[in-house]
Amino acid sequence: MNKVNLFLLTTFIFQSLFLNSVFAKEIFEVDISEAWISEAPPTVSVLAGYAKIHNASDRPITLLTVSSPNFSKIEIHRSVLNGDMVSMEKQDSLEIPARSTIMLSPGDLHLMLFDPVKPLRSGDTATLNFSFSDGHNKTIEAKVERRSSEDHSHHHH
Ligand SMILES: [Cu+2]
């Protein structure tokens, strides 16, 4: 390889690295999937929502707020066991470590959805908007589903 080609190759590599780093800032590497809301009787004014949040980037990202046109207010909660009492602790934010997945699931971290604008039934969807510390937002549709019986009972033999 002669000197000119080597120079061009080096320039090309440096440009690629530079462009990659520019694009890396443009791509939001957080994915929210498997979002669902547990169906509740119409008289219940607080519902629980669950989802899988994956951070594919090499930096931790913090979920700051979740909002929805379908609810008056949404909080991030964690269910904790105190003795034999389960209580819920409101989280001010939720950090998703680099290259990891956080599951919001029954009995653990969850979204507390207050005062549905209209009653939601199994099969309906609600729009959830997630706001993150780096300024990115992600809007997804969560499906309202009936919680399967094995989720909330531990009557295994
Ligand atoms: Cu809660």
HEC-encoded secondary structure of 69-115: CCEEEEEEEEEEEECCEEEEEEECCEEECCCEEEEECCCCEEEEEEE
Instruction: Say how many Å lie between the CA of residue 103 and the centre of ligand 1.
Output: 15
Instruction: Say how many Å lie between the CA of residue 90 and the centre of ligand 1.
Output: 7
Answer whether residue 78 is part of any domain: yes
Answer whether residue 118 is part of any domain: yes
Strand, helix or coil for residue 123: coil
CATH number at residue 92: 2.60.40.1890
Range of the domain at 139: 29-147
Instruction: Say how many Å lie between the CA of residue 155 and the centre of ligand 1.
Output: 23
- Tokens 């949404």 belong to 74
Residue 149 carries which DSSP code? H
Task: State residue 5 phi and psi, 5-degree precision.
Answer: -60, -40
| Structural domains counted in the chain | 1
> Measured in whole angstroms, how far is the alpha carbon of residue 90 from the centre of its chain?
16
Answer whether residue 18 is part of any domain: no
120, pLDDT greater than 70: yes
To which H or E segment does residue 67 belong? strand 61-67
Instruction: Say how many Å lie between the CA of residue 112 and the centre of ligand 1.
Output: 5
Answer whether residue 4 is part of any domain: no
- Average pLDDT of the chain to the nearest whole number: 87
Instruction: Say how many Å lie between the CA of residue 123 and the centre of ligand 1.
Output: 22
Check: pTM over 0.75? Answer yes or no.
yes
- The tens digit of pLDDT for each residue in 25-77 reads 557 899 999 999 999 998 999 999 999 999 999 999 999 999 999 999 999 99
Q: Are 63 and 96 in contact (CB under 8 A)?
A: yes
Answer whether residue 51 is part of any domain: yes
Answer whether residue 16 is part of any domain: no
Phi-psi region of 8 (alpha: psi -120 to 50; beta: other; left: phi over 0): alpha
Instruction: Say how many Å lie between the CA of residue 89 and the centre of ligand 1.
Output: 7
Instruction: Say how many Å lie between the CA of residue 78 and the centre of ligand 1.
Output: 7
Instruction: Give the HSE-up count for residue 59: Cα atoms under 13 Å, Cβ half-sphere.
Output: 9
Whole-Å CA distances, 149 to 34, 38, 63, 130, 153: 18, 12, 30, 29, 6
Of 2-11, 87-96, 135-144, which range is least confident?
2-11
